[in-house]
Amino acid sequence: MKSIEGLCSLESKVAIVTGAGRGVGQGIAAVLARVGADVVIAEIDEELAKDTQRLVEEQGRKALVVPTDVMDEESVEKMLQAALEAFKHVDVLVNNVGGVARPRMISISDMSLEEWDYTLRFNLTSQFLCSRALIRYWQGAGRPGNIVNISSLAAMVPYKTSVAYGAAKAGVINMTQTLGGMYGQSGIRVNCIAPGHVKTPITDALYKGREDVRAAQDRIIPLGRYGTPEEFGKVAAFLASDASSYVIGQTLLVGGGMHYFLTELP
């Protein structure tokens, strides 16, 4: 059986991963490097990106850190130009940036318009801006391309922590389907990952002192545990590579089977 490196080779490819400084983005960047890609680390916190840069370079691949605000149109364009200046071409975009602004229960009655707008800009508009920039580049250059969007299981089930987050992530799935259908004939594939719970330093800190809540969540996941950033990276490598060459506009639920039993996220 072929290894992940052989089956999902990205040798000679260049991948942009947004928000790659930690968590899922870092895991994706590390795995893409492992299967042969040079990686552009588009991260708003340049200091945070250094650890990811080290992980990529340890795989023998080149890493470029580009401070990027994916909610800012000009910053996104500068990020793409920096990538092209360094590597001459870009083949893959992973739209990873996203999250809940305030990880606590908030009803729509208590949500301000500013928080609603920010959550949509952070999770959906950011992916629109990056996707638009890369699609324009690929079409202008007559090159194929590959976009992997990151949505969430919250797009498909009630998410009481933030109605805005669930709505934005549902928008990511719809955008994936639409762009996949529109640009497939141009050789541009667009697909999506909808993660369930992920073990990261942020989630570990969130549940510190609340081990009973964490254990209860583990029990409703058929695999009995949170996923790791590397596991999501492997799925991203599959979608970004020729191993999925006939897959367009799809969203893969990667949650250890959690969606089978979940009606709402605590």
Q: Which residues are catalytic?
A: 165
Contact 192, 150 (CB under 8 A): yes
Give the closest residue to 94 by CA, choosing from 6, 13, 3: 13
**DSSP track, 31-73:** HHHHTT-EEEEEES-HHHHHHHHHHHHHTT--EEEEE--TT-H
Q: Give the span between the Cα atoms of 202 and 198, in whole angstroms.
A: 9
Tokens of 136: 């324009």
Q: How far is CA 126 from CA 158, 167, 168, 214, in A?
A: 23, 14, 11, 30
Contact 151, 192 (CB under 8 A): yes
